[in-house]
Structure 1
Amino acid sequence: MTAPLSLWAGGGLLLLLILATLAGPMMLPDPEAMDLAVRLGSPSTDHLLGTDELGRDIAARLVQGGQVSLVVAALTATLAALFGTVIGLLSGYYGGPLDSALMRLTDGVMALPLLPLLIILAAADPAQLGMPPDIATSEPVAVARLAVIIACVSWTGVARLVRGSTLSTRARDHVRAAEALGAGPVRVMVRHILPDVASPVVVAATLSVGHVILIESALSFLGLGLRPPLASWGNMLTGAMDVVWTAPAMAIWPGAAIFATVLAFNLLGEGLQQRLSPDLCRR
């Protein structure tokens, strides 16, 4: 079976983005180095995409923002997929009151208004919760905190998908045979049901990455995500608001990077869906 065109296109575009974020720091200036003498500068040999309002290299900050956005997106999608898979497996396998409780929890999270909820969660300061200020403001903690916040509201789709797949898989002969031979619930779920539901989980996680990048950019744009001097595409757009008419490149390049990354993951997810779940695509 040949790979779909969307899989090649999405994978190729994503590979280019990853290579750019990995190779960029070796060829570009320090993204936090400021030079007010060249603020809002035009593209040149020293600054390929020009400079921002503080004289920092736009290309270097774009690459740094790409690293941050990809790490946040990958970590968030992984956490959401793991949590949603556990909820879906337990709900679909045990059924009854546990199924009802977990699905009502899922419906409740899905019914909450997304952006106001994320704003409330992002506004919580770890330093006020007892974490030492120097650790609370460190870059790894900031990235992990943002990933956990977004993952808290991103697991519902995976949970419902895994529950439906678990309900159908549990009725198959090999699962019933394992239960008849005395296999415990954990072994049955991990060894006999999880492999059958893994493909739709991978597809759902891949498709969710683009959505996560948009959420991260929106929170950073509102000043509730990653804060300067750490660059992200969202806070780069925030910095471009006051100079968008005099220096449009400051808004164009981060916006184009967000568009390209979301497009890459959506194409990749669509291709994986056609490859791993062809029956689902024909419905």
Structure 2
Amino acid sequence: MTALRAQTPHHEKMALHTALYWIRSGMSSIFLQDANTLVLNPDDLITILLHIREAFPRVERITSYARSYTIARISDDDMARFALAGLNRIHIGMESASDEVLAFVKKGVDKKTHILAGQKVVRAGIELSEYFMPGLGGKALSTESALETADAINQINPDFIRIRTLAIPETSALYTDLQNGTFSQMGDVETARELLLFLDTLNGVSSTVKSDHILNLFQDVDGTLPGDKETITAPLRSFLEMPPEDQLLYRVGRRTGIFTSLADMDDPELMNHALKAKQAHQVTLENVDRFTAEMMKRFI
């Protein structure tokens, strides 16, 4: 195996490494690549799913990304066929269900279609992850985005609600809007308020909330509704009740990788590292939003 690796081109080594990792992890799940696999002809996709099940009988889960406008055009019968063939989890990047936000970012979908697609996945018996992106509406549409998205989620009741905080690559059209003043980006405190409003507005759902991404300020916003709602929202409430200087210190610690949760602020050693990072980067209440935006670019 060592000799084989030495003779293999770099891109093939990467593929080999990925395959070995999958084998060592038990070969229990497969993620169909690309952002919208369900755009395939239904019969073709079912052929692929059945082949996967035959070739890898140990696989327990097959997952795919999909777009709402694609799913909305698929019949309930075909969705049921996908489930029967082995597709058992779909991720949809809802991001927002505000029609105004969706139109501004040219998402190519509206709230009604998001709801239709989500309900279609749930009816098929396929696990559904819906993504919410606090901050996508900017300061002007923050409240509307939170309320409209929560309303859509309430009508869908997905298995998972995944949080993905907005970050703006310099190559994106939204960055141009930011530069010319068409879009007003929110800082961490405003984003925390939007996320809390969204979570507080969820009602009648049994979804599991996950904030498992490095761009999120609070990875401990985690639990299953409705029972864990108080636990899920507790980090947000605690942060918003902090004095501004403490909020700043947590933001610096989190964005530099020192903190993983608010509880880390109880650790004197970690707090000392955060204070040193604040001093080294010369972060103040006046420039902390710019500092945060720059740090987040490292993970885009």
Q: Which has a greater percent of helix? A: 1
Short-chain TM bin = under 0.3
Q: Which has a greater percent of strand? A: 2
Provide TM-score, normalisation by structure 1. Answer: 0.25
Structure with larger RCO (C-alpha < 8 A, sep 6+): 1
